[in-house]
Structure 1
Amino acid sequence: MTLSTIEQLSIAAAAADRTGAEDAVALDVSRPLPFVDAFLLVTGRSERGVSAIAREVEDALNDAGVRTLRREGREAGRWALLDFGDLVVHVFHEEERSFYALDRLWSDCPVITVPVRDAAETTAG
């Protein structure tokens, strides 16, 4: 089973929201980056929060059948990058989100409106 990028974004956004993520932004980066369709950027308010958000997003997508290709930074709790192929999820602590400024770096990319839904809804329907 493969899920569309929008379905993956929806599952990831719901998982991030469940664990207290803030300032979620989904960007269509398919034009400048031919190897990935979308970025999901979210903020956690603490190191523990960043780690929990990253873990929940990864678990939710894995449970939906989407394999994690690469994972970086989660252990330190300041930022995490989760690569699922078509989707890359960036979870930042507030300070790192400001420092790396991916929102600004990719500001010419279209924002994707993501319907937030649980993985169970996707697999059941």
Structure 2
Amino acid sequence: MTASDNARRLLKVAAAAADAKQGEDLVALDVSGPLPLTDAFLLVSGRNERNVLAIASEIEEKLLEAGQRAIRREGRTEGRWVLLDFGDLVVHVFHEEDRTYYQLERLWKDCPVLPIELPEPARNASEA
């Protein structure tokens, strides 16, 4: 199996939202083979608890605007590892220390990496 078109659409929106809030080290994994409950994971790091919460909030807001409500949220109180479940896509927003500790990429190393398409940065009018 491969990640559905809907999972890829949600991934694009979520990645752009994470990038807009300075999310770092974005990695998307196609987990549709081993996990029957979801198609893709998006892993994102934040520099501190405030950044983690800002990234998670922006992702949730942009996906809601795109018509997808979160089914479940975990970890908002601590701001160390926020999990957002959107059905076809599960987003993990980590504090960079926690991401290093839990190493989800290593746990899911057999899953294919999905390309992440980020919007081009806006150019200054002086550059045009």
Q: TM-score, normalised by structure 1?
A: 0.89
Spell out structure 1 runs of 4+ moving beyond 4 A.
none
The alignment's C-alpha RMSD in Å is 1.0
| Higher percent of residues as helix | 1
Superposition map of 1:13-92 within 5 A:
13-92=15-94
- Residue 114 of structure 1: CA displacement? 2.0
Counterpart of 1:50, as a letter, is V
CA distance in 2, matches of 1:5, 1:106: 17
| Alignment match, 2:6 | 4
> In structure 2, how many angstroms separate the alpha carbons of the residues matched to 1:65 and 1:56?
14
Q: How many residues align?
A: 115
Asked if 1:100 corresponds to 2:66, the answer is no
Please state whether the residue corresponding to 2:27 is helix, strand or coil: strand
Identity %: 62
Shift of 1:79: 1.0
Alpha-carbon shift at residue 78 of structure 1 (Å): 0.8
TM-score by length of 2: 0.87
Which blocks of at least 5 consecutive residues in structure 1 are unaligned?
A: 118-125
Q: Report the alpha carbon displacement of residue 44 of structure 1 after superposing the two structures with TM.
A: 0.1
Q: 1:72-105: CA deviations, max 9, x gaps?
A: 0022111100000000000000111011110110
Structure 2 unaligned residues grouped into runs of 5+: 120-128
Q: Which deviations, in whole Å up to 9, do the C-alpha atoms of 1:11-68 show, x marking residues without a partner?
A: 0000000001000000000000011000000000010000000000000001110011
- Measure how far apart 1:116 and its partner are: 2.3
Q: Distance in 1 between matches of 2:36 and 2:117?
A: 24
Q: In the aligned structure 2, how far is the partner of 1:49 from the partner of 1:34?
A: 31
- Secondary structure at 1:103 match in 2: helix
Quote the Cα distance in structure 2 between the aligned partners of 1:36 and 1:19. Answer: 25
Q: How far apart are the structure 2 equivalents of 1:50 and 1:99?
A: 16
